[in-house]
Amino acid sequence: MESLPEPSVTQKVAAMRKSLCSWGSEHGRDYPWRHTRDPYRILIAEILLHRTRADQVCPVYLRFLDLFPDLLSLIHAEPESVKALMAPLGLRWRTDLLLKMVREIGERYGGRIPLQRESLMALPGVGDYITSALLTFTDTSPEPIMDTNTVRVIARVFGLKLNDSARRKKQFRKIMGQLVAGEQPRIISFSMIDLAALICLPRNPLCERCPLLPICDYGQARIKPDPIGG
């Protein structure tokens, strides 16, 4: 029997998008920052989530918004009170960057968070990931959200080499860009993040439970049964 032809990248992306939307609607994690399009609330969430588990961030995030519900209140906040609030999350240096960032937004943009890539990237403490997340999750423009988790999923599905520089490679960014270029870029992005956290683990991934298994090069090779007599 002749083997079926390999699906093209475009076909895989379409199948991947469909599976992620379906899986994410049923299994996606529920966090308060996922229920808003407000740039300030999303920006604060992304700053707090940097190198920190979402479950750990959640109570700090809610308390943060109680004390500083908008950018103006944060601009006028006492630095020590902000540092004390963020202390349980560690990475104390990000508090100084956050305060410097909001002051610059106040001075340069009249207290309104700019929603243009170049303007965001020029702010202290804002890099490609936060910029892409802010633009995508505010429904401003769909952007590829690249980190060690999303690139791991892409590498495994498409059989690409995964290393420390993968998130900066054009091939990975192009595929993620194609994924979010269609409908529901927010759901696609959240689903990629959740799939990496719950199923496509760095070690011992749960391939048998993965919605992308039918199109995943890594998963198919990993669970392929040994030949008889092998």
Q: How far apart are CA 64 and CA 31, in angstroms?
A: 15
Instruction: Write the CB contacts of 62 (distance below 8 Å, at least 6 apart in sequence).
Output: 32
Q: pLDDT (tens digit, 9 = 90+) per residue, 38-49?
A: 999 999 999 999
pLDDT at 104: 96
pLDDT at 228: 53
* Catalytic-labelled residue, pool 38, 96, 147, 217: 147
List the Cα angle 194/145/13 in 5-degree steps: 75
pLDDT at 5: 52
The yes-or-no answer on residue 46 being catalytic is yes
Helices (H) and strands (E) in the chain, counts: 12, 0
pLDDT at 4: 44
Torsion of CA 42, 99, 52, 147, to 10 degrees: 60
Residue with tokens 């633009």: 135
The yes-or-no answer on residue 183 being catalytic is no
Q: How far apart are CA 137 and CA 131, in angstroms?
A: 10
Domain ranges in the chain with CATH number 1.10.340.30: 38-137
Given a contact cutoff of 8 angstroms between Cβ atoms, the answer to whether 215 and 4 are in contact is: no
CATH architecture for residues 38-137:
Orthogonal Bundle (1.10)
- Provide the whole-model pTM: 0.90
Residue with tokens 């999750």: 137
Domain ranges in the chain with CATH number 1.10.1670.10: 9-29+143-221
* Catalytic-labelled residue, pool 31, 96, 129, 217: 129
Instruction: Write the CB contacts of 19 (distance below 8 Å, at least 6 apart in sequence).
Output: 211, 212, 215
The yes-or-no answer on residue 118 being catalytic is no
Of 14, 97, 12, 2, the C-alpha closest to 48 is 97
SS3 53: coil
Given a contact cutoff of 8 angstroms between Cβ atoms, the answer to whether 216 and 199 are in contact is: no
The tokens of 36 are what?
């808003």
Look at domain 9-29+143-221 and name its CATH class: mainly alpha
pLDDT at 152: 97
The overall longest dimension of the chain from CA atoms, in Å, is 72
Residue ranges of the chain whose pLDDT lies below 50:
1-4, 229-230
Burial (CB count <10 Å: 0-12, 13-18, 19+), residue 189 = buried
* Catalytic-labelled residue, pool 46, 128, 143, 194: 46
